[in-house]
Amino acid sequence: MTEQHLPEPPGWALKLLHWYCKPRYLEAIEGDLYELFDLRCQSAGEKVARRGFAWDVVRFFRWKYIKGIENSNRLNQFAMWKNYFKISLRSLWRQKFYSAINIAGLSVGIACCLLIIIYIKHDLSYDRFWKDGDRIYRIAINDRGPYTPTRLGSFLKSDYPEVESYTRLNGLYDFSFAIGDNVFSEPGGSLADSTVFEVFDVKFIEGTPQGALSEPNTVVLTKSVADKYFPHETAVGKIIKSSGDAVKITAVVEDPPANSHMPFKYLVAMPHEYWATTGWWTGNNFFTYVKLAEGASEEAFEAKILDFMRKHMAKDLMETYHYDNFDDYLASDDSYRFTLVPIQEIHLNYPRLTLAESAGDMDNVYIFSAVAFFILLIACINFINLSTARSGSRSKEVGIRKVLGSVRGELIRQFMVESFLISIFSLGLAILLSLVALPYFNDLSGKQFQSTDLITVDNMLWLTLLLTAVGIIAGSYPALYLSSFKPVAALKGELKSGKSGSFLRKALVSFQFAISIFLVIATVIVYQQINHMTNQKLGFNVSNTMVIKAGSALKDSGPFFRSKLLENPNIGGVAASTTYPSQFVGDWGYSTVGDVKDNYSLYTMFADSYYLETMGVELAQGRFFSRELASDTASIVLNEAAVRELGWDDPIGQRLERTEGVFTVIGVVKDFNFSSLKRKIGSLAIRYDAEIHKTKWGSAYYLARVKGSYQETVNSIGELWGTIAPEEPFDYDFVDQAFAKLYESEAKFGKIFTVFSALAILIACLGLFAMAAYTLEKRFKEIAIRKVLGASVFSITTLVLSDFTKLILFGSIIAVPLAFYVMDQWLQEFAYRMELGIVVFLIPVLAVTLLAWLTVIYQSFKTATGNPVYALKQE
C-alpha cells in the first residue's frame, strides 16, 4: 500500500477538549473519541466523522469533566485566596460588634448615596428622551421672560434654512370639557401649532401626526386623559364640548415622560388662523421652539437673529419704544435679544422657562451631590478608623503569620480581602435598604421613582467602582502598616496599641464632626429662612382671601354673581382682578409723557374699585379708583416701589403713556407682596377695569374675603357657580395656600436636607460609639488602676468625655466659619433674608456635642462603675 492520507479529527476540537477536560478523564475520553472517529470514517466517511468528533467534544463539555479551579496550574495561589476569605470571615465574625457597625454605617451611607444619585440623575435627565433633543431650542427673550412674538417661529423658518422646523406652544392651561352632561376641568392643556410633532417626536397610539392639529377645534389627548374619559372605547373621532365649541379628538399620544419640561396632558389646536399670520412684533404671547438642522451652529444662528430683528421687527420696536434709529434702540436699556436655550437645559438652568410645576435647580444638584459625598465620606472614615484602631490588636496574628513564612504581599492581600468583604456586604445591605426606603424617599422628594430606577446596570457599575475605591482606601492603611511589622516586635507586643494611627484617627473623627456640625447648621438655617419668608408681612390680608377662578365664564352675569356673593353672610367683601397675589404678573412697557420720553417696565394688573378694601392693601397717597368715575379707565395707581423707580417726588397727577392711551396717576398704594418673597417687591401699576369678567387684558379672578367657615363658604359659592356658569367647573384657591406653594421647593429641599443630615450624624455617632468602645477597652486597666487609687466614677467619666469633647470642638472650629460662608452665599438669592445670628451656629454645635456625649457616656459610665478586680485579675 502506498503512503496515503490518514483521516485526522479536527485539531481545534482536540485543543478544546484538552483545554477544558479534567486530566483524570482526558485519556479515556480522547481514546474513545478516536475510536469512534475511526469507526465513522469507515462507515460514513471522513467529513461526517470529523463533524461527529467535534460534536462529541462539545457534548462532553459537562460539569463533571470541566477542570475546576483546583486543576489550574496556580494551585497554591488559589488555596491562599481561599484561606484569605476564610480567615477574613472568621475575623469579621469574631469582632461582631465592630463589623456590624462598619457594615451598618457603610450601608446606610451607600443607600443614601444611591438615592441621591437617582434623584440627581433624574434631574439631569430632563428632556434627554426626545429624538434630536440636542437640536431643539427654545427661543427666550433675555431677562424678559418666556414669551416670544407670534410670528417669530414661522418667519425664522422661512428666512433661514438652518431652521428645520418650528412650533409654538402656550400653556399649560386648565380647559374645561363637557362630555355628555358632565363638565370636567382638566389641567395640563397646551395650545400648539400643528408643527409640534415635527419638532417633538411624540409617539402616536392612535391617529397620525399629519393633520392632527391643523384645524381649529381639534385636540390630541395623551393616553392617560383618553383612558380617563373614554375608558373602554376609542377616543379618536369623539366630539367634546369646550367653552361652547365642538372639539374633535384627532389622535391619542403617549404621555410625555415625567422628566419633561412640558408635561402636557393634551394639545389643543391654535383656535384662530390669524394667530399665525398677524400679530405685533412687540407682543409676546407664545413659547417658540425651533429645531435646527443637523450640523447648524447654535452660536452662528443666534448671531443671525439680530439681522432678523432689524429686518422684521425694527419698525414695531422703534415705534413702541420711541426711537428714531434702530441702532439707538439696540444700544438702549429697552432693547432685548432673542437667545436660544437648549431644551435639555431648561429644567435645571432656566426655571422661568419650564412649563412643569416645579423647576429643578442646578444648585440643588450640586448641594445634594455634596451631601451624598459627605455622608459617604463619614461612613468611610468610620471604616478607616475602626480598621486602623483594631489593627493594633491583630499585631500578634501578623507576627505569627510572618514567622510561619508569610511575605508582605500576602499579608496585604489578607487585609484587603477583609476590607473588600465588608464593602461587599455593605453593598448588598445598601441595595436592600434603599429599596425599603424608596417609598419614603418618593414622599420626601415628590418624585415617582421605581425600584427599576434604582437597580440599573449604570448604578451598579457606579457602586462597584465606588466600593472598590472605598475598599482600597479603608484597607490600605492597616494593610500597609501592619504588614510592615517586624515579627519579633509584633510578638513581644511592642506595637500593641497601634499608636501611630491615633493622630490620624483623631483628625478623622474631628473631620467627621466638622461635617456633621456643618450639616446641622445648614439645616437650621434653611428652616429658619423658610420660616422667615412665610412669616413675612405681605402687606395685605393673606389668611382669609379666597380666589374664584375663571371669572370670564360668568360673562354678563358678573355683577349678578358679585351681588349674590355679597348676600352670603360668610363673605366680607368681593373684588375682581386680572391676577391674584402669588401669581404671575405681566410687565408692560410705559413711557413718561413729555419731550424726553423715559421708558419703564411696570408689572401691570387690572382691578375693580373694590380691590383695595377687599385685599386690605393700604393707600399711601391720593385715592383709589371710583366706580362713579367712568374716566378712571384712564387713571393709574402705582405702588411705592414704582414711584421710587420713576423718581417722582409728587406722583399724583403725573402721566404715563402706552400705545393704548395716556394714564394719569391718581394714587399710590403701600408696597405689598404680589409675587414671591424670593424677589423684592417690584414696581406695580394697577389699572381700572370695572368689568373684569369681560376683561380683554387677561384672566378674571374674583377675590372674596371669607369671614366664616371655609368649607361652608366654598360649598355655597360652588352651588351658586353651578347655577350661573354650569358649563365651567368651579375652581378656587386660597391666597395663603398659593403662597405656601411658592416655597414648596424650598420646603422640600429643607426636608430632604434634614433627613440626610440626620443620617450623616447618625453614621458619625455610630463611628464614635465604636471608637469609644474601643478606646475604653484599651484603657480598661488604666481605668481600673485609677479607680483602685481612688478616682471617682464622675472624674473617670469626665476624663473620657473630655477627650472626645476636644475632638468635637476642634471640628466645630473648622465647621462654623465654613458654614457661615456657604450659607451666607445661599441666602444671597433671597430678597428677604434672615439674620445670621450667633444662635444658629451655637445651637448646632451644642446639639452635636450633646449627642456625642450621649453616645459615649453610656460606655464610659459602664466602664467607670465596673469592678476594677475584673479588669486587673487577667493574666
- Of the residues 64, 96, 499, 696, which one makes contact with another protein according to CB under 8 A: 64
Cβ nearer to another protein, comparing 59 with 232? 59
User: Shortest Cβ distance from residue 416 to another protein (Å)?
Assistant: 39
Q: To 10 degrees, what angle do helices 457-483 and 362-391 make?
A: 30
User: Shortest Cβ distance from residue 38 to another protein (Å)?
Assistant: 7
Residues 256 and 246: their CA atoms lie apart, in Å, by: 26
- The residue written with cell numbers 477542570 in the block is 67
User: Shortest Cβ distance from residue 6 to another protein (Å)?
Assistant: 11
Residues 756 and 762: their CA atoms lie apart, in Å, by: 10
Which range in 54-62, 99-107, 362-370, 462-470 contacts another protein by CB under 8 A?
54-62
- Of the residues 17, 41, 50, 60, which one makes contact with another protein according to CB under 8 A: 60
By CB under 8 A, tell whether 30 contacts another protein.
yes
- Of the residues 62, 537, 696, 873, which one makes contact with another protein according to CB under 8 A: 62
User: Shortest Cβ distance from residue 26 to another protein (Å)?
Assistant: 9
User: Shortest Cβ distance from residue 100 to another protein (Å)?
Assistant: 43
- Of the residues 46, 56, 410, 731, which one makes contact with another protein according to CB under 8 A: 56
Residues 126 and 260: their CA atoms lie apart, in Å, by: 5
The angle formed by the CA atoms of residues 827, 831 and 834, to the nearest 5 degrees, is 50
Query: What contacts 24+ positions apart, CB below 8 Å, involve 156-162?
Result: 156/290, 156/305, 156/308, 157/290, 159/308, 159/311, 160/301, 160/304, 160/308, 161/293, 162/292, 162/293, 162/296, 162/301
Residues 319 and 549: their CA atoms lie apart, in Å, by: 36
Q: In terms of residues, how long is the chain?
A: 875
User: Shortest Cβ distance from residue 54 to another protein (Å)?
Assistant: 13
User: Shortest Cβ distance from residue 223 to another protein (Å)?
Assistant: 53
Which range in 25-33, 398-406, 610-618, 679-687 contacts another protein by CB under 8 A?
25-33
By CB under 8 A, tell whether 491 contacts another protein.
no
**Are the beta carbons of 288 and 145 closer than 8 angstroms?**
no
Helices (H), 725-779: 735-742, 744-778
By CB under 8 A, tell whether 36 contacts another protein.
yes
Cβ nearer to another protein, comparing 56 with 198? 56
Which range in 56-64, 300-308, 475-483, 497-505 contacts another protein by CB under 8 A?
56-64
Q: Which three cell numbers stand for residue 584?
A: 404671575
- Of the residues 27, 307, 727, 744, which one makes contact with another protein according to CB under 8 A: 27
| Burial tier of 112 (Cβ tally within 10 Å: 0-12, 13-18, 19+) | buried
Cβ nearer to another protein, comparing 44 with 788? 44
Amino acid identity of 275? W
User: Shortest Cβ distance from residue 59 to another protein (Å)?
Assistant: 4
By CB under 8 A, tell whether 34 contacts another protein.
yes
Cβ nearer to another protein, comparing 33 with 371? 33
**Are the beta carbons of 321 and 332 closer than 8 angstroms?**
yes
Cβ nearer to another protein, comparing 33 with 343? 33
Would you call 602 helix, strand, or coil by DSSP?
strand
User: Shortest Cβ distance from residue 50 to another protein (Å)?
Assistant: 14
By CB under 8 A, tell whether 1 contacts another protein.
no
Beta bridge partners of 656: 592, 663
- Of the residues 1, 28, 457, 596, which one makes contact with another protein according to CB under 8 A: 28
Q: Within 10 Å of residue 76's Cβ, how many Cβ atoms?
A: 8
Residue 251 φ then ψ, to 5° = -160, 160
User: Shortest Cβ distance from residue 27 to another protein (Å)?
Assistant: 5
- Of the residues 12, 15, 18, 31, which one makes contact with another protein according to CB under 8 A: 31
User: Shortest Cβ distance from residue 136 to another protein (Å)?
Assistant: 60
Quick one: how far is CA 681 from the chain centroid?
A: 28
Which range in 30-38, 325-333, 428-436, 569-577 contacts another protein by CB under 8 A?
30-38
Residues 600 and 592: their CA atoms lie apart, in Å, by: 8
Cβ nearer to another protein, comparing 37 with 518? 37
> Of 265, 18, 283, 314, which is closest to residue 150 (Cα–Cα)?
283
User: Shortest Cβ distance from residue 39 to another protein (Å)?
Assistant: 8
> Of 706, 707, 732, 736, which is closest to residue 721 (Cα–Cα)?
732
User: Shortest Cβ distance from residue 60 to another protein (Å)?
Assistant: 4
Which range in 28-36, 148-156, 193-201, 340-348 contacts another protein by CB under 8 A?
28-36
Counting residues that bind another protein (by CB under 8 A) gives: 19
Which range in 21-29, 377-385, 684-692, 792-800 contacts another protein by CB under 8 A?
21-29
> Of 539, 600, 506, which is closest to residue 809 (Cα–Cα)?
506
In this structure, is the dihedral angle defined by the CA atoms of residues 745, 746, 751 and 754, taken in order, positive or negative? positive
- Of the residues 7, 10, 16, 29, which one makes contact with another protein according to CB under 8 A: 29
By CB under 8 A, tell whether 32 contacts another protein.
yes
Which range in 35-43, 313-321, 744-752, 811-819 contacts another protein by CB under 8 A?
35-43
Which range in 23-31, 445-453, 467-475, 840-848 contacts another protein by CB under 8 A?
23-31
Which range in 22-30, 220-228, 426-434, 509-517 contacts another protein by CB under 8 A?
22-30
User: Shortest Cβ distance from residue 44 to another protein (Å)?
Assistant: 14
| Neighbouring residues of 463: CB distance < 8 A, sequence distance ≥ 6 | 110, 114, 427, 430
User: Shortest Cβ distance from residue 79 to another protein (Å)?
Assistant: 25
Q: Which three cell numbers stand for residue 823?
A: 450659607
**Are the beta carbons of 848 and 808 closer than 8 angstroms?**
yes
User: Shortest Cβ distance from residue 65 to another protein (Å)?
Assistant: 8
Would you call 62 helix, strand, or coil by DSSP?
coil
By CB under 8 A, tell whether 59 contacts another protein.
yes
User: Shortest Cβ distance from residue 767 to another protein (Å)?
Assistant: 53
User: Shortest Cβ distance from residue 71 to another protein (Å)?
Assistant: 16
Cβ nearer to another protein, comparing 33 with 479? 33
Kindly report the three-state secondary structure assignment for every residue of 304-357: HHHHHHHHHHHHHHHHHHCCCCHHHHHHCCCCCCEEEEEHHHHHHHCHHHCCCC
Cβ nearer to another protein, comparing 25 with 794? 25
Cβ nearer to another protein, comparing 23 with 409? 23
By CB under 8 A, tell whether 35 contacts another protein.
yes
Residues 741 and 661: their CA atoms lie apart, in Å, by: 37
**Are the beta carbons of 375 and 763 closer than 8 angstroms?**
yes
Which range in 32-40, 102-110, 447-455, 726-734 contacts another protein by CB under 8 A?
32-40
Q: To 10 degrees, what angle do helices 23-44 and 11-20 make?
A: 160
Cβ nearer to another protein, comparing 22 with 144? 22
By CB under 8 A, tell whether 12 contacts another protein.
no
Q: What single string gives the DSSP state of each residue in 194-226? A: TTHHHHS-PPEEES-STTSSSSTTEEEEEHHHH
Cβ nearer to another protein, comparing 31 with 493? 31
Q: Which three cell numbers stand for residue 347?
A: 429644567
Q: Using CB under 8 A as the criterion, which residues of the chain lie in contact with another protein when the complex forms? A: 25, 27-36, 38-39, 56, 59-60, 62, 64-65
